[in-house]
Chain A
Amino acid sequence: MLTCGIDIGARSIDIVLLDGTRIVASSVTETGVTPRENARSAFEALLRDAGVRSSDIARTLATGYGRNYFEGMDRTSSEILCHAAGVAALFPRVRTVIDIGAQDSKLIQTGEGGRVLDFVMNDRCAAGTGKFIEIVAAMLHLSLEEIGPLALRTAETCEISSMCAVFAESEIVGLLHKGMAREVILRGVFRSIARRTLGMAGKFSLEEDVVFTGGVALNPGIVQALKQESAIREILIPPCPQITGALGAAILARRDMVE
C-alpha cells in the first residue's frame, strides 16, 4: 500500500508517493493562479505517469499553504513537522534544517528521528525568501537557474543594507546605475539573505548536520553565502530539495497507519 504526501506551497506543488520507505514517484509543478485545480491535476498526472490507481493509495497527508483545500487528503500537518520528518529520512544525523521557500524561511532544530525541538520563521516580509530572489533575478534579466552559478564567478561583493524587499529593489537599481556588475550585486544579495536567515537562529545554535531544503537550496550562491557567514562546515542538500516537505508528509501518513 502506498502513502501520498502533497505540499501545496506558494510557488510549487510537490507530491511524493511512498511505498514503505521507497519513493515510487514524485513531481514538482507550479502552483499558478488556480492552486486547487492545479493540485488536483498534478496529483492525477503523477498517478497516471507512475501507473498507480488512486485506490492503491492508503492515506494522503497535505501540507503547505493550500493544505486545507486539497480534497483528497486524510489529514493535514504543518510544514515544520513535514520538513523535519522528510529531512530525517534522508539524513538521519540532521540537527538543523534550513528551509527557504517562496514565501517563508524557517530554521528547524531537530532531535532523534526528526523530532522537532524548536523552530523560527521569518516575519511577514518577503526579504530573504525565494520570492525576493525571484524579484532580484527578474530585475537583472536573469533566470533562477543562472543567478547562483553567476555569483560564484566573482570574489567581489557589495553591501545590500535594506531589510525590505521593496527598498532593496531600489538599492539594486542604484547599484546598476553606478555600473556595478550583476554577479557582484548577486553576491551582495545572497550574503544579505544568508545573514538574515542565520540571524533568525537567535534562540538556538545551528548544530550540524545542517540540511538545506526548499527550492532556494538549488542555488549554489546562497549555499556558499550561508557557509561564509556562519561556522557551519558542511551544508547537506537533498537531491531534490523541493520535495522534502511532501516526502515528510508521506512519511507521517505512513506513521499514522502503523500507529
Chain B
Amino acid sequence: MKPDIRQVWTELEVNLDLHDQLLASMAKSHKKTHLWQKHRPKGIEFFDHALHASHAERVAEIHAFRKGGGKSIGTFCIYVPDEIALAADVLPIPLCGGSGWPVNYADKMFPRDICPIIRSTFGMAFSGTCPYKKLKDFAIGETTCDAKKKAWDLLGFKAMEVPQKKNPVDRDLWLMEVYAFKEMMEKLSGVPVTAEKLSDNIKLVNRKRKSLQRINEFRRLDNPPLSGLDALLVSQIALSQDTVKFIEAAEALADELRERAEAGISAYENGNRKPRVMMAGTPSPMGNAKVHYAVESSGMKIVADESCTGLRYYSALVDESQTTLEGMIRAIADRYFSIDCSCFSPNKERIENVVKVAQEYRVKGVVQNILQYCHGYNVEAKAVENALNEAHIPSLKIVSDYSDEDLEQLRVRTESFAELIGAK
C-alpha cells in the first residue's frame, strides 16, 4: 500500500492495524469466491480492483473532494434518490457492509440476533475500520426494517420514511419525503436543485442503470459470457464507484461481453451442462458472495438475480420525458416507490416479478438467498415458493449470514439442488 493512502486513513481516524486485517480478510474472501473462475472476461479486472480501491483510491478521491468543500452523505438501502443528491452537488455514499470480519464489533451497541448487514456496517464503524465514517456530513437511513429504524434512532441518524403499503396516501407520503430530501440536500450544499441539473442527473443515473441492464442482457444467452458471481461483483461496485467511471468500465465490459458472445466464449467450464438458476431475496453487499459462490461452485449458472444487488437496483429507470422540476421529482418518487422491497404489505408485485423473471431467463430453479434475521424476506419466502410451485419451478431456500463456517453445509444443499434440477 502506498504511504499516502495510509496518511489519508490516519486523517480519517482509521485504526490502521484493524483496517489492515479487514482488507486482508476481504482480499482472502474475494480470492476464494471469485478468483478460482477460469474464464472471466478481461474487463472484470477493473471490478476486482475496485473492490480493494473502495477502501483506498475511492476513499482518497472523496477525501480530496471534501477537502475542496464538497459535501457527501452516507446511505444504506437503494431508496435514497441519488439523482437529487447529485443535482445538489452532494455525493451519496452507500455504506452497507458485506464483510463478515467486523460483525462482532457491533456487539458494543447491537444485539447479536439482528441482520448481518447492520452488524457488519456498524461493526466496521465501531472498530475504526470504515474510512467512510469521517467522509460524510451525515448519514440518512430509511424505514425498511425495524432493526434499522432503531439503529438510526440510537445513532441519531436521519431517515426517509418508506411507506409500508402502496395506497394513494402512501404515494403522497413518499413524494413528500422525496421533497424533504431535496430540501435537505439543498440546505447541506447551498446549491439549489434546478430543473436543468436534475434532468442531467436523472440521465446520468439512468445511464448507469442502462449499463448494468446491458451487461445483464448477455445472461439471457444459453451459455453466458459472464458468471453470476462476476455479475454480482459488478452490481456491488456500481454502488461504491464514482458514477462516470463506473459507466465507462461497465460499457467497456459490455462491449467485451458482446465480442465473447459472438465468439461463443462462455464464463463457465462445461457451461452447457450446468442448469440455469436465479437468485432471489436479500442483497449481498460488497464483501459477501458466499451463497452465490456455493451455488456456482456446485455446478449451476446464476443467470438472474432479483435482489437489491441485482435487478431490483437497476431494472427500473426514471422517466426522462419530464420538463418541469415538479414533474421530474414526481418521476423520481414513482421510480423509487416501484422498488418491491419485502417491507411492503401486501407485496404481490415482488412475488409476481420473481416468477416472471424466472420464466424470462428460462431458469430451471430458483435459490432464495435470505440473510438470517431478515424477517421480511424470510417470511415472504413461503409465498414466493408457493408461486414458483404453481409455475412448476423448483426452489431452494437458504438462510445464512456472513460467516464462512456453514459453507460445506450449504454446499450439501446446493449440490443436491443442482443434481435435482439438472436431472429434470
Q: Which residues in A have some Cβ–Cβ distance to B below 8 Å? A: 65, 77-81, 103-104, 115-116, 118-119, 121, 123-124, 203
Instruction: Name the contact of A78 in the complex, choosing from B389, B406, B416 (C-beta under 8 A).
Output: B416
| Residue of B with least CB distance to A202 | B382
- CB-defined contacts of B420 to chain A, threshold 8 Å: 80, 116, 118-119
Known: A115-B423, A116-B419, A203-B385. A80 touches B399 (CB 8 A): no
- CB-defined contacts of B419 to chain A, threshold 8 Å: 77-78, 80-81, 116
Check if B399 sits within 8 Å of A78, measured CB to CB: no
| Residue of A with least CB distance to B408 | A65
Instruction: Name the contact of B412 in the complex, choosing from A78, A115, A118, A203 (C-beta under 8 A).
Output: A78
| Residue of B with least CB distance to A108 | B416
Q: How far is the CA of A80 from the CA of B409 in the complex (A)?
A: 12
Check if B409 sits within 8 Å of A124, measured CB to CB: yes
Check if A103 sits within 8 Å of B385, measured CB to CB: no
Known: A65-B408, A78-B419. A121 touches B413 (CB 8 A): yes
Report B389-424 CB contacts with A as 1/0, cut-off 8 Å.
Answer: 100001000011000001011001101100110010
- CB-defined contacts of B416 to chain A, threshold 8 Å: 78-81, 116, 119
Q: How far is the CA of A104 from the CA of B415 in the complex (A)?
A: 15
Check if B412 sits within 8 Å of A104, measured CB to CB: yes
Check if A118 sits within 8 Å of B394, measured CB to CB: yes
Q: How far is the CB of A71 from chain B (nearest CB, A)?
A: 18
Q: How far is the CA of A124 from the CA of B412 in the complex (A)?
A: 12
- CB-defined contacts of B409 to chain A, threshold 8 Å: 65, 103-104, 121, 124
Q: How far is the CA of A103 from the CA of B408 in the complex (A)?
A: 11
Known: A78-B419, A115-B423, A116-B420. A123 touches B399 (CB 8 A): yes
Q: How far is the CA of A80 from the CA of B389 in the complex (A)?
A: 21
- CB-defined contacts of B408 to chain A, threshold 8 Å: 65
Q: Which of B184-230 contact A (CB under 8 A)?
A: none
Check if B385 sits within 8 Å of A124, measured CB to CB: no
* Among B394, B408, B423, residue most surrounded by chain A Cβ atoms (within 10 Å): B408
| Residue of A with least CB distance to B414 | A78
- CB-defined contacts of B385 to chain A, threshold 8 Å: 203
Known: A80-B419, A203-B385. A121 touches B412 (CB 8 A): yes
Given contacts A65-B408, A80-B420, A116-B423, 6 further A-B contacts (CB under 8 A): A78-B412, A115-B423, A116-B419, A121-B412, A121-B413, A124-B406
- CB-defined contacts of B389 to chain A, threshold 8 Å: 203
Q: How far is the CA of A6 from the CA of B420 in the complex (A)?
A: 21
| Residue of B with least CB distance to A103 | B409
- CB-defined contacts of A203 to chain B, threshold 8 Å: 385, 389
Known: A79-B412, A115-B423, A118-B420. A124 touches B394 (CB 8 A): no
- CB-defined contacts of A118 to chain B, threshold 8 Å: 394, 420
Q: How far is the CA of A114 from the CA of B389 in the complex (A)?
A: 22
- Some 15 contacts from A to B, beta carbons below 8 A apart, are A65-B408, A78-B415, A79-B412, A79-B416, A80-B412, A115-B423, A116-B420, A116-B423, A119-B416, A121-B413, A123-B399, A124-B399, A124-B400, A124-B409, A203-B389
Q: How far is the CA of A59 from the CA of B47 in the complex (A)?
A: 43
Q: How far is the CA of A121 from the CA of B423 in the complex (A)?
A: 20
Q: How far is the CA of A124 from the CA of B404 in the complex (A)?
A: 12
Q: How far is the CA of A65 from the CA of B409 in the complex (A)?
A: 8
* Among A79, A115, A119, residue most surrounded by chain B Cβ atoms (within 10 Å): A119
| Residue of B with least CB distance to A64 | B412
- 6 smallest CB-CB distances across A and B, nearest first, come from A80-B416, A78-B416, A78-B415, A124-B406, A81-B419, A65-B408
* Among A78, A81, A121, A203, residue most surrounded by chain B Cβ atoms (within 10 Å): A78
Q: How far is the CB of A11 from chain B (nearest CB, A)?
A: 14
- CB-defined contacts of A78 to chain B, threshold 8 Å: 412, 415-416, 419
* Among A81, A115, A118, A124, residue most surrounded by chain B Cβ atoms (within 10 Å): A124
Q: How far is the CB of A179 from chain B (nearest CB, A)?
A: 33
- CB-defined contacts of A116 to chain B, threshold 8 Å: 416, 419-420, 423
